[in-house]
Amino acid sequence: MTQMFPMTEMVGYCPDCGSGRPFEQHHPDAGGCPDSPDGQCPEWSCTGCGTALLIGVVAAAGAASRMPGRHDHLRDRVA
């Protein structure tokens, strides 16, 4: 038997489609998101192409500088 789940939908800019598109939230019920401590799901996906966006999430300060990358060997060099 197929289960039907209600989805919340909004219109937003999709960077892959290059235009305003409907986005749907896969865990719309309060407390229903297993990936979020407060239960509010930040994951929205474009109904046209499937691109996923995190909406309402703030990255920790300096998080990008701690991510591994191809230039890690240059990090400790002094000019």
State pLDDT tens for residues 61-76. Answer: 555 555 566 666 666 6
Range of the domain at 6: 1-57
In a domain, 74, yes or no: no
In a domain, 45, yes or no: yes
Cβ neighbours of residue 51 under 8 Å, at least 6 residues apart? 14, 15, 16, 17, 45
Cβ(42)–Cβ(54) under 8 Å?
yes
pLDDT digit string (tens) for 11-44?
989 999 999 999 988 777 777 788 777 777 888 8
In a domain, 63, yes or no: no
For residue 7, name the pLDDT band (cuts at 50, 70, 90).
Answer: low
Greatest Cα pair distance in the chain: 65
Question: Angle at the Cα of 31 (from 21 to 61), degrees rounded to 5?
Answer: 70
* Mean pLDDT along residues 54-63: 67
Q: What is the tally of structural domains in the chain?
A: 1
